[in-house]
Structure formats: C-alpha cells, structure tokens
Copies of this chain bind each other. A is one copy, B any other.
C-alpha cells in the first residue's frame, strides 16, 4: 500500500499544480526550453522511493531527503543518480521545501505519529500555488498545516499552498489496490479455509499476530494498551 500511495502522490500532485485547482499551472516535466517543476520528497522509504521513480520518470527535477544514507544510496543507484539525495535535517528540509513546486510528505514511521517536519512558517514561505501531498496523513500528517480530507473534497488551500491530504489514498485506485492487498492476504485466507480456525493461527505466527479479540479476550497487546484493558497472549487463547 505504501508503494501505491507513493506512486499516486506524484499523479495527484501533478493534478494539484494545474491552474483550475489553484496550483501554479506548471507541468511536472516542463517542456523543451521550459524549466520542469521541482519536486521535493521527504522520506526515502518504500513510499518515497516509489514517488521518486514516478517523478523522475515524468521529467521533474527531484530531490529526496532521508536520515538514512543507505536508503538514499539505493534510490540513487536504481535511478542512475538522476536526482538529488539530501540528508534530512532542519536546514535541508527548509531550504528544499521553500524552493519546491511540489512537496511529497512520505515520512512514515510504522505505528507512530508522523513527525511534523514542515512548520506553518515554512509553508508560508513556499511559492504561491505550490502543492503539498501528505501521504503520512493517516498517521497525523507531517506538516503543521495538514488536516485530513476525503475523495469528495480532496484539496484545500492554506497559506497559498494547495494541500492534498486524502486519508486512505489507495482507495482512489481500487482496482490496483485490491490486487495488491489480495497478493498479501490470499495465503492467509487459504490457510484459514484449509485448516480452519483456530488451527491455522497455531501454525502460522504471522497470521496469529492479526488476531485482535477472541472469546471476549483481547489478544492484541497494542489494542489492550490503547483501551487500558487486560491482554491475553494469542498463544494461550488458541491452545485452549
């Protein structure tokens, strides 16, 4: 899903930049003799790397930032070095964001709130009509100006910047997303169908991790903590 969100982000970002949406009216790849758009991607994980592939493929001038040099080097290697990789720190983030036509927020930390890398004051200094797509909105968003939107009203303008903060972005390409989801879940479904419940969970730890409640007991530690209720390990439940 991260990969799909990453690829989508450039596509919707390009759309945000169109004039009728309040954008700068700039084409990602420019034209012969006309400067392309500058795309800045925060985060070089699966999402950011996918966004980077699409943006360079469309001819934009891309810079990608991350705190992990190994991730930056991999993106650099597979794309033939045709983008700028930058260490993510306050100075670089600020310099790049303020200069961008399109910013992609793909700072996803599994199971945690996204860090607020982009302050309102940075957004204020962005170009008028620039666009910002926040993939990390499902985890709270990575800009102070981010707030969740939906497919019916996907964008809003704040500080003269077009914000696209649709939660569950992959839902706008359900065909592709369903196949991607099924690719990962089909094996689990087949195990449940073949072995029955709870035997299937007893044999596959990854599957067992997905159980939230069973027989009135909370079997997922995170859920138990969130609601401040007692937690029963999955193993105890499925053995009995």
From residue 1 to 16 of chain A, which have CB atoms closer than 8 A to chain B? 3-4, 7-8, 11-12, 14-15
- Tell me whether A217 is interfacial, beta carbon within 8 Å: no
The answer to whether A4 and B33 have CB atoms under 8 Å apart is no
Taken together as a complex, chains A and B put the C-alpha atoms of A54 and B14 apart, in Å, by: 12
- Tell me whether A236 is interfacial, beta carbon within 8 Å: no
Please, what's the 1-or-0 string for A59-100, where 1 marks a CB less than 8 Å from any CB in chain B? 101000000010011001110111011110100000000000
With A24-B175, A26-B175, A31-B7 as contacts: A87 and B15 at CB distance below 8 Å: no
Q: Give me 4 other A-B pairs in contact (C-beta within 8 A), A54-B57, A82-B82, A87-B179 excluded.
A: A26-B175, A30-B84, A34-B180, A69-B183
- Tell me whether A19 is interfacial, beta carbon within 8 Å: yes
Q: List 11 A-B contacts (CB under 8 A).
A: A15-B15, A25-B175, A32-B85, A32-B180, A33-B87, A56-B57, A56-B82, A78-B78, A78-B80, A82-B82, A89-B186
Taken together as a complex, chains A and B put the C-alpha atoms of A84 and B171 apart, in Å, by: 22
Please, what's the 1-or-0 string for A24-58, where 1 marks a CB less than 8 Å from any CB in chain B? 11111111111110000000000000000110111
Q: Select A28's contact among B3, B11, B73, beta carbons within 8 Å.
A: B11
> Could you say which residues of chain B place their CB within 8 Å of the CB of A173?
17-19, 25-27
Interface residues contributed by chain A, number (CB under 8 Å): 60
The answer to whether B7 and A86 have CB atoms under 8 Å apart is no
The answer to whether B172 and A32 have CB atoms under 8 Å apart is no
- Tell me whether A239 is interfacial, beta carbon within 8 Å: no
With A58-B54, A81-B53 as contacts: A73 and B32 at CB distance below 8 Å: yes
Chain B residue nearest to A63 in the complex (CB): B35
Taken together as a complex, chains A and B put the C-alpha atoms of A144 and B79 apart, in Å, by: 38
With A11-B28, A57-B57 as contacts: A86 and B33 at CB distance below 8 Å: yes
Closest 9 CB pairs of A and B: A57-B57, A33-B87, A87-B183, A25-B174, A82-B82, A59-B81, A25-B175, A27-B176, A32-B73
Taken together as a complex, chains A and B put the C-alpha atoms of A8 and B17 apart, in Å, by: 12
Chain B residue nearest to A152 in the complex (CB): B20
CB A149 to nearest CB in B, in angstroms, measures 12
Taken together as a complex, chains A and B put the C-alpha atoms of A9 and B186 apart, in Å, by: 31
> Could you say which residues of chain B place their CB within 8 Å of the CB of A61?
61, 84
- Tell me whether A209 is interfacial, beta carbon within 8 Å: no
